[in-house]
Amino acid sequence: MTTQLTTRSTDVGRLPLSPLLALGTAVFITTLTETLPAGVLRGMSDDLGVSDSAMGQSITIYAVGTVLTALPLSAATAGWRRKRLLLAAMGGFLVANTVTALAPTYTVGMVARFFAGVAAGVAWALLAGYARRLAPPHLAGRAIAVAMTGIPLALSLGVPTGTFIGQVVSWRAAFGLVSLLTLGVIGWIVASVADFPGVSRSAADGGRTSVLAASRVPGVAAVLAVTAVFVLAQTVLYTYIATYLAGAGMEGRTDLVLLVFGLASLVSIWIVGRGADRHLRTLTILGIALVALAALVLALTEVPAAVLVAAVVWGLGWGGIPTLLQTAGARAGARHSDAAAEGAQAMLVTLWNAAMALGGSVGGVVLAVGGVVAVPTVTTVLSLPALAIVVLARHRAFTPTDTAPAADARKELAAWTGMRGADGQASH
């Protein structure tokens, strides 16, 4: 008995790194699939015989696929075992990216991009909760941070690499490489990621999953509101940063600015990974404030040195935000039930992608009306209500793990350890 307790105590203090890194690679593929067309846009449009603006809609239709299907698919697959669902999502990326790479026409390519967005809706609603369930309760935020590392890695390394391959070989080769990587991560998931049952369906929900009911759980609405407003603010700036830099006389340094932004994002997610569990609210406030400050600097000056400093501040603020919002949504929903936690994630994914789809349009109007300086100005202005919501929702949302009643914390820890076998894997 003593030996068994010692083993479990050791397991409780550790993160299962191999499965979490497998999830992180799945996040990397999801993010890269979404953003790669931005790096190979000219090659795609020339090859498929359409304008750059028409080809740019390949990113929009991806977001539309996610927005339209994330909620209904989350409800329809609530009872599926989690590993089966994750493999289905990765299989969806494999098929969609392969069809994109081989697309003979623009229409076929756009259909493939839509279904890639559908796969993303399933993946994003699942991944943060999956990472959370793999880890002991007091390390849940750190586990999500490890998985979400795939986002800044995709933006800082994946897209530039895909762009280089698109320029040297072809855009089709870039998408084909993503398919090969997806095959590898499917094998990794099969070999090392533990399985979990689907979420339970409570009688109170009339046998239906509580995807929509999750919005009524205390704290969830605040997290969703911050997600909608702040992702919109971020997308307006990120979508048109190249246009802003061209207006500032730095057109040839877009790659440098985005590299600096991406590297700073990696530092941010490392910091968030170490502190999200106990300092969720503080880190969220700091992240939003840093993005607002960086955008304000960009609005006030176009001096190259100041722009690079602003890019560092921007990355430090934004890099950890996906982890913080996913953690906050999952934590708020989980206080009610696993179904509410996954429902909150599905709604967060839907709002996130809706904000991204809207951000390009809003940014375009802002650019046309106010010029390049208006773009970072709008980002600063939109960040303020998001900041205010986090500050005012301190009793319901963005709370650290140690604010939960001690009895609830002990119950959650006991439930987690009870699911683990002697080898540290989840029981089936």
With b meaning 16 or more CB within 10 Å and e meaning fewer, what string describes 193-219?
bbebebbebbeebeeebbbebbbebeb
What mean pLDDT is predicted for residues 127-146? 82
Percentage of the residues of the chain whose pLDDT score is greater than 90: 33
pTM: 0.70
**Are residues 180 and 231 part of one domain?**
no
What mean pLDDT is predicted for residues 253-268? 82
Task: Answer yes or no: is 267 within a domain.
Answer: yes
Over 50: is that where the pLDDT of 409 sits? no
**Are residues 156 and 91 part of one domain?**
yes
Q: How far apart are the first and last CA of the chain?
A: 23
Task: Answer yes or no: is 427 within a domain.
Answer: no
What mean pLDDT is predicted for residues 96-120? 95
Over 50: is that where the pLDDT of 316 sits? yes
> What are the C-alpha distances in Å from 38 to residues 55, 95, 369, 412?
9, 20, 24, 43
pLDDT in tens, 39-52: 777 788 889 998 76
**Are residues 263 and 223 part of one domain?**
yes
Instruction: Please report the pLDDT score of residue 67 as a whole number.
Output: 82
Over 60: is that where the pLDDT of 93 sits? yes
Q: Read off the pLDDT band of 278 (50, 70, 90).
A: confident
End residue of a domain, out of 154, 177, 198:
198
Over 80: is that where the pLDDT of 182 sits? yes
Q: Read off the pLDDT band of 200 (50, 70, 90).
A: low
> What are the C-alpha distances in Å from 150 to residues 88, 118, 157?
19, 19, 10
Return the higher-pLDDT residue of 296 and 208.
Answer: 296
End residue of a domain, out of 171, 198, 225:
198
**Are residues 213 and 184 part of one domain?**
no
**Are residues 252 and 163 part of one domain?**
no
Q: Which of 5-19, 216-230, 307-321, 395-409 has the highest mean pLDDT?
A: 307-321
Instruction: Please report the pLDDT score of residue 90 as a whole number.
Output: 96
What mean pLDDT is predicted for residues 379-387? 95
Taking the CA atoms of the chain, what radius of gyration do you get in angstroms? Answer: 21
Q: How many domains does the chain have?
A: 2
Q: Read off the pLDDT band of 259 (50, 70, 90).
A: confident
Over 80: is that where the pLDDT of 334 sits? no
Instruction: Please report the pLDDT score of residue 213 as a whole number.
Output: 60
What mean pLDDT is predicted for residues 11-22? 80
End residue of a domain, out of 154, 172, 198:
198
Task: Answer yes or no: is 325 within a domain.
Answer: yes
Over 80: is that where the pLDDT of 258 sits? no
Instruction: Please report the pLDDT score of residue 48 as a whole number.
Output: 92
State which residues form the domain around 48. 15-198
What mean pLDDT is predicted for residues 289-296? 97
Task: Answer yes or no: is 1 within a domain.
Answer: no
Tokens 């590993």 map to which residue? Answer: 83
Q: Read off the pLDDT band of 337 (50, 70, 90).
A: low
pLDDT in tens, 230-254: 999 998 888 777 778 878 888 777 7
- The domain that holds 44 is classified in CATH as 1.20.1250.20
Over 70: is that where the pLDDT of 26 sits? yes
**Are residues 235 and 187 part of one domain?**
no
Task: Answer yes or no: is 203 within a domain.
Answer: no
Task: Answer yes or no: is 193 within a domain.
Answer: yes
